[in-house]
Structure 1
Amino acid sequence: MASVNYNSQMPLDPFADDPNDPASFLDPDEPAPPLSDEERAGITQDLALVARFKEELTPRGILGIFFLCEECDDFHYYDWDIMAANMAATLSGELAPVHEPSMEPDVEAYVPWDYAAGYLDGLNAG
């Protein structure tokens, strides 16, 4: 399997050189806690699902997933490639690459995770 440099596909850090960067409290030298075997298996499974979601849903106009953020009580929209980059970084024991989803996403082009999973289940049942 060819290696993909997800960092080269990500937009520039919107907080670069900002003294109020919300991630400034993180210690870059402190390693992320290791994943348990169960966590690693779950993320690997989810990464495979994201690839299938992208393959099956992108031709139907679905660009990614949305989540309700509990901190700001707003929806956040993530393209398939951003989801995959975040999961790949986690599996590698790295912080997820900095990304900023588009300012005005086409909200009709994003679905909840459960919808995407249900869509695949429907395809597999047919």
Structure 2
Amino acid sequence: MSSEALPPDPFAGDPDDPALSMDALDTSGEATWPGSDDEPGRLNEVERGEIIADLADLAVYQALLSGRGVRGIVVDCADCGEQHFHEWNLLRASLQQLLDEGRMRPHEPAYDPDPAHYVTWEYCRGFADATLADD
């Protein structure tokens, strides 16, 4: 079958194309992710420590804020200029995947999120600092 008879590649030009991970496999079977300066597909100890700290902070933020109706974190995306809304469990899973695999895979954005139910990471940090300082 000729390539003209096939539908267009929906991932053409997408840096998160899942097929790129197949191209990134070297002869040992270890993945080499584009842009990685350290061992292929691995985080250095500083990066791992930061993610572990973020996971711990996320657990505190969820415990303090979910009972107040906050569903997760909103992030201003530097790449697309839009806000991304991450529910607590989705963000935890993404951070865990980053810790385990050295990168986060693309995921579906929240469907029609209500911005009133999401706060920034900085808000969470300030709220937690103020709440825990009162105790």
Q: Secondary structure at the match of 1:119?
A: helix
Among candidates 53, 63, 66, match of residue 74 of structure 2: 66
Partners of 2:80 and 2:98 in 1: CA distance: 23
How many residues align structurally?
109
Q: Is the 1:65–1:78 contact (alpha carbons within 8 Å) kept by the matching residues of 2?
A: yes
Q: Which of the numbers 44, 58, 67 marks the counterpart of 2:52?
A: 44
5+ residue gaps in structure 2?
Answer: 1-7, 26-30, 34-40
Task: Answer 1 or 2: higher relative contact order, Cα 8 Å, separation at least 6.
Answer: 1
User: How many Å separate the matches in 2 of 1:27 and 1:67?
Assistant: 26
Q: What secondary structure is seen at the aligned counterpart in 2 of 1:102?
A: coil
Contact conserved, 2:73 with 2:119, CA < 8 A, in 1? yes
Q: Which has the larger radius of gyration?
A: 2
The TM-score, its normalising length taken from structure 1, stands at: 0.76
| Alignment equivalent of 2:63, drawn from 42, 45, 55 | 55
Partner of 1:27: 21
Q: Give the letter for the 1:54 counterpart.
A: Q
Unaligned 5+ runs, structure 1: 1-17
RMSD: 1.9
Q: Secondary structure at the match of 1:76?
A: strand
Partner-residue secondary structure (3-state), 2:73: strand
% identical equivalent positions: 29
Verify the 8 A CA contact 2:72 2:88 in the aligned structure 1: yes
**Secondary structure of 1:99's aligned partner:** coil
- Summarize deviations over 1:39-94 as a string: whole Å, max 9, x none: 11110010011111111111101111111111211111111111111111111125
When the two structures are superposed, what TM-score results if normalisation uses the length of structure 2?
Answer: 0.72
| Cα distance per residue 1:89-125 (max 9 Å; x no partner) | 1111254354212221010001110000111001111
Tell me the distance in 2 between the aligned counterparts of 1:57 and 1:70. 26
Work out whether residues 82 and 99 of structure 1, in 8 Å CA contact, stay in contact via their aligned partners in 2: no
Counterpart amino acid of residue 103 in structure 1: Y
Q: Contact (CA 8 Å) 1:31, 1:93: kept in 2 or not?
A: no
